[in-house]
Copies of this chain bind each other. A is one copy, B any other.
Amino acid sequence: MPVSKTTTKSATRAENERLILEAAEIAFAEYGFKGATTGMIADRAGLPKANLHYYFPTKLALYRQVVENIFRIWLEAASTFDDCDEPEEALTRYINAKMDISRSHPMGSKVWANEILHKAPVIQDYLETTLGEWTDTRIAVIERWIEQGKMAPIDPRGLLYMIWATTQHYADFNHQIDTLNDGKPLSEQQFAKAKQTVVSIILAGVGIRPARLVMDDAIGEGA
């Protein structure tokens, strides 16, 4: 069945690493770095603990890999900011992209939040380099929009933090949101409405009057 030697070799490894990383992301998100144990991660992955340590020598190494995967996903979404030079569309796309990630990868967002909460012992260098540069360039873009009169003169950094905070809230605090929603996860419709609300408040908040009537859409029960 196996075609090439390398395929066979790495097939087992790739599959097991995937299982472990998947289990680790959930465990680290729900219990934190200290709270998650290699034993429970191995259990969730369906492997003995010693086998986990065969693929990932230490718990910290495994954690690093999980965090790096999350950062990669985050960076991909970040590029949506640059797809358009009109603030209305750029902001809308960026917010929607970040909201979608909160919906599809809530565990990753939680691991990231946990890491920042605990003073980023593992990802400090990411914060200082990649994230710092990304933020600076995007702030320059927003400042240009303001100079061009395309939006109100708000503090760009404060705007970015607000977008991050709000979008990630739907992942990091989803347990609270679910509890306040009668203990049930948000339906697709509810989540779509939440996205609309965020986009609507941010756009209006920075003084952008949408070409189309966003507010009416947000309230209506339209598809």
- Contacts from A to B (Cβ < 8 Å): 29-35, 110, 113-114, 116-120, 124, 127-128, 131-132, 135, 152-155, 157-159, 161-162, 164-166, 168-170, 172-173, 175-177, 179-180, 183, 193-194, 196-198, 200-207, 215, 218-219
Which of B117, B135, B205, B219 makes the CB contact (< 8 A) with A205? B205
Q: How far is the CA of A30 from the CA of B118 in the complex (A)?
A: 5
Q: How far is the CA of A157 from the CA of B169 in the complex (A)?
A: 13
Which of B159, B161, B206, B215 makes the CB contact (< 8 A) with A154? B215
Contact between B193 and A155, CB atoms less than 8 A apart: yes
Q: Kindly report how many copies of this chain are found in the complex they form together.
A: 2
Q: Which 3 A-B pairs have the closest CB atoms?
A: A205-B205, A158-B197, A165-B169
Contact between A154 and B200, CB atoms less than 8 A apart: yes
14 further A-B contacts with Cβ under 8 Å, apart from A116-B173, A161-B169, A201-B205, are A32-B32, A32-B35, A34-B34, A124-B179, A127-B180, A131-B176, A131-B179, A132-B180, A153-B218, A158-B201, A162-B162, A162-B197, A166-B166, A207-B215
A120 to chain B, nearest CB (A): 6
Interface of A is mostly: helix
A149 to chain B, nearest CB (A): 13
Q: How far is the CA of A136 from the CA of B149 in the complex (A)?
A: 39
Which of B118, B168, B176 makes the CB contact (< 8 A) with A35? B118
**Closest chain B residue to A194, Cβ basis:** B158
Contact between B31 and A155, CB atoms less than 8 A apart: no
Which of B135, B176, B197 makes the CB contact (< 8 A) with A180? B135
CB-CB under 8 A from A172, the residues of chain B are 113, 116-117
CB-CB under 8 A from A177, the residues of chain B are 161
CB-CB under 8 A from A166, the residues of chain B are 161-162, 165-166
A44 to chain B, nearest CB (A): 16
